Structure formats: structure tokens, C-alpha cells
Structure 1
Amino acid sequence: MSAVNWPDLMRAGMTSDEFWALTPSELMVMLGHGSGDAPMGRARLADLLRLYPDDARGATREMKAQNE
């Protein structure tokens, strides 16, 4: 876990009740420290659809194999 950036935290201007009501994720977003992961783009989605196609009923091959 990284150290707390107290100057950033003080600039957020929250009361102690507001601070303690936040989840760690909410606090990081408020302070501008997002996950850094870019959302999946269309090209990656297309790659996944090619790798794991659904059949006409929507079940994947893996699910069908588990039920056999």
C-alpha cells in the first residue's frame, strides 16, 4: 500500500464524517489516482469474441462440455 498524500487529502476539503464514509476506491478516484487501466477497446472485444464464440443459444463451448 502506498503512503497517504496528506496535502492532496487536505485539499479535498472533506469533513471527517465524509472521509470515513468513503471506500478506498472512492477516495482514490476523488484524489485523481485511478487504477490506470484503460478500458477494453473494440479490437480487444473482437479478439475475445473470436477466441470464445457463443453458440446460437448463448452457451459457450466450455459450459456445454461441463454439462456432458
Structure 2
Amino acid sequence: MTGLDWSALLRAGVQGLGLKPAEFWDLTPAELQLMLGDRGTTGPLLSDGLEALMQTWPDDLKEDHSDDG
């Protein structure tokens, strides 16, 4: 996975879109992507993509076994 070029994204948001820095940082990546003109042409997230995300960032659920006998 490659990192994001935050300085370029911030420049695009502030200079290109006229956002204030706080407005830029309040955006989700999807909102920024839409504002920059990408209409989701990369396609939907399919099951293999979801599986990769789940492996990379698993939910940190703690199982409660207090009712186990």
C-alpha cells in the first residue's frame, strides 16, 4: 500500500478548491475525492477488497466470556 501525498492533497484542497485548512482536514477522503472530480470511476469495493481491508485493519472486539460456565 502506498502512502498519500498529503502536501499535494492539501495544496489541491486549499489552493485549488479554496478550502480553509480546517475545512480540508474535516473532509473524509471520499468527500475530498469527489470534490476533486473523481466520480468513483475506480469501481465498487468487492469482497476481495473488503477482505484485504479487514485483514489490514481488523475490528478490535473483545469477547466477553463472563457467562461461560
Q: TM-score range by the shorter chain?
A: 0.3 to 0.5
Structure 2 length-normalised TM: 0.41
Larger Rg: 1
